[in-house]
Amino acid sequence: MPAFCQHTRKPLKPLEDVYPAFHGLEKAEDFAVSENGIIYYLKARSLDYGPDYFLSEYEAQYGKSYLDDEPNLRRLSASRLDWMDQTLVVSGAKVDWPEQGPALLEIGSAAGFFLDEANDRGYRTLGVEISDFASNFARGRGHSIFAGSFSSADLSGFLAAALGNGKVGKPEPNHWETQALEANRSETKDSPTTDRRGKMKVENASQPGEGDAPSHNGQAALDLIAAFYTLEHFPDQQFAFKRLARLLKPGGLLLLSIPSYHGPLFRCSPQTWLSSHPEDHFADYSPDSLALTLELYGLKQIAVRPASFHRKRACGWIRYLGDGFYKKWALKHEFGDTMEVLARKELPGH
């Protein structure tokens, strides 16, 4: 990782200089902080997400394989969509969904359980999944999946073909899609993924010829992009945010789940945070730093909520609140080791 922010190209500061509680701790020197509050893991590296990631590794952590955990994952998917709907109502944000149903792309669609839930609610669904095992499983359930990296140059062609031909929802795998799978199979594991913040709005991220307009008329065509614990895995964060902004329609929504360092583990157990930090997480955000980053690409953060509540990880008087009061406090202060975020691509003139 370079020693500068991938968004602003400004130098990073050592984590220990910004957060004195980390001074002298093992591995603290492996992290650096941008002026907008993004923490970069300087030794991060990409991993192979093969079958073991969804089977034995998942089972070791959760007691069952990813595939066996489908009922729980479907419930989680439903709760995310419910929260998005409720947030839009409360915020007064009006969404102009197309008559044929909103076009949704999930980045890191895994076995397709979120796509199942969204499809049942009338979304026209597409997925991007780097794991051959997971993408083939989702295809077997009838989903239209781009088997490759979100950073692949071929993604826009896949989206244009799928949306232009109406191949969204749960179509049979088409010839173009099969070709895309084969063409991208070799780059799935080995190609560098490129992805993050500088004062360049979406216009700067949408130069002609860059191949990111998945529609008939060259305009961005996605109504909703969902990414759950995916964005932190991109080595080039700038690229990921640029591409998200390009692919969304003006007024389109971004639904995220992502780790947050504005939570009890980072604030109260710095050594544990360091020693348990996943080696394939390239960047960590807080609600504030994510909002600043999204703004650079023409995206406005509408709402944030903690995705986890760990009272016993907290310190000080907060730790002694009852579970119910702790949850209320955490929701009010957006305090959690993980967070769910809803953002919107701003309309022209706003």
Residue 133 lies in a domain: yes
Percent of the chain with pLDDT over 70: 83
pLDDT digits (tens, 9 = 90+) for 237-273: 999 999 999 999 999 999 999 999 999 999 999 999 9
pLDDT (0 to 100) of residue 47: 86
**174 pLDDT exceeds 90?**
no
Which residues are CB-contacts of 275 (< 8 A; sequence separation ≥ 6)? 26, 27
In a domain, 1, yes or no: no
Domain assignment present for 30: yes
Report the 10 Å Cβ neighbour count for 192: 10
Asked if 129 and 146 count as a contact pair (C-beta separation under 8 A), the reply is yes
> Is residue 3 one of the residues assigned to a domain?
no
274 falls within a domain? yes
Q: Which two tokens stand for residue 310?
A: 């760990």
SS percent in the chain: helix, strand, coil, step 5: 40, 20, 40
What domain count does the chain have? 1
- Indicate if the pLDDT at residue 316 is higher than 70: yes
Give me the pLDDT at residue 151, please. Answer: 92
Give me the pLDDT at residue 167, please: 56
Please list the alpha-helical segments (H only) found in the chain. 15-18, 51-54, 56-62, 70-91, 113-120, 132-140, 155-164, 175-190, 237-247, 264-268, 270-275, 287-295, 323-333
Instruction: Give bridge partners of residue 299 from the DSSP assignment.
Output: 345
Q: Check whether 168 has a pLDDT greater than 70.
A: no
CA torsion, points 155, 160, 165, 169, in degrees to nearest 10? 50
pLDDT-derived band at 350, boundaries 50, 70, 90: low
Q: Is the pLDDT of residue 347 over 90?
A: no
Nearest to 264 by CA among 312, 300, 229: 312
**What is residue 2's predicted lDDT score, i.e. its pLDDT?**
61
pLDDT tier, 217 (very low <50, low <70, confident <90, very high otherwise) = very low
* Order of strands, sheet of 39-41, starting from the edge strand that comes earlier in the sequence: 13-14, 31-33, 39-41, 283-284
Please name the amino acid found at residue 122. G
Question: Which of the given ranges, 170-184, 194-208, 213-227, has the highest pLDDT on average?
Answer: 213-227
Residue 19 has pLDDT above 50, yes or no: yes
Does some domain include residue 6?
no
* Neighbour count for residue 292 (Cβ, 10 Å): 19
> Quick one: DSSP state of residue 242?
H
Give the rounded percent of residues in the chain with a pLDDT score beyond 90.
Answer: 70
With a cut of 80, say whether residue 190 has pLDDT above it.
no
Please tell me the distance from the alpha carbon of residue 93 to that of residue 75, in angstroms, as a whole number. 25
**How far, in Å, CA of 130 to CA of 146, rounded?**
8
Average pLDDT over residues 306-328: 95
**pLDDT interval class at 1 (50, 70, 90):** low
CA distances from 294 to 91, 203, 302 (A): 18, 14, 11
What is residue 30's DSSP assignment?
A: G
Mean model confidence pLDDT for the chain: 85
Confidence of residue 13 (pLDDT cuts 50, 70, 90): very high
Side-chain-facing half-sphere of 164: CA atoms under 13 Å: 15
For residues 297-305, average pLDDT: 97
Output the pLDDT for position 212: 53
Burial 130-152 (b: 16+ CB within 10 A, else e): bbbbbbebbbeeebbbbbbbbbb
Q: Which two tokens stand for residue 308?
A: 């986890």
195: in domain: yes
CA distance 279 to 197: 22
| Structure confidence by residue, pLDDT tens digits, 24-50 | 999 999 999 999 999 999 999 998 777
Whole domain around residue 309: which residue ranges?
A: 13-320+337-345
Beta-carbon neighbour count of residue 71 at 10 Å?
9
pLDDT at 285: 98
Question: What are 42's two structure tokens?
Answer: 């300087």
C-alpha dihedral over 222, 223, 229, 235, to 10 degrees? Answer: 40
- Region 100-107: what's the mean pLDDT? 96
Domain-located, residue 305:
yes
Query: What's the CATH code of the domain at 46?
Result: 3.40.50.150
Q: pLDDT tier at 223 (50, 70, 90 boundaries)?
A: very high
Mean pLDDT within 72-78: 96
Residues 313-336, mean pLDDT to the nearest whole number:
96
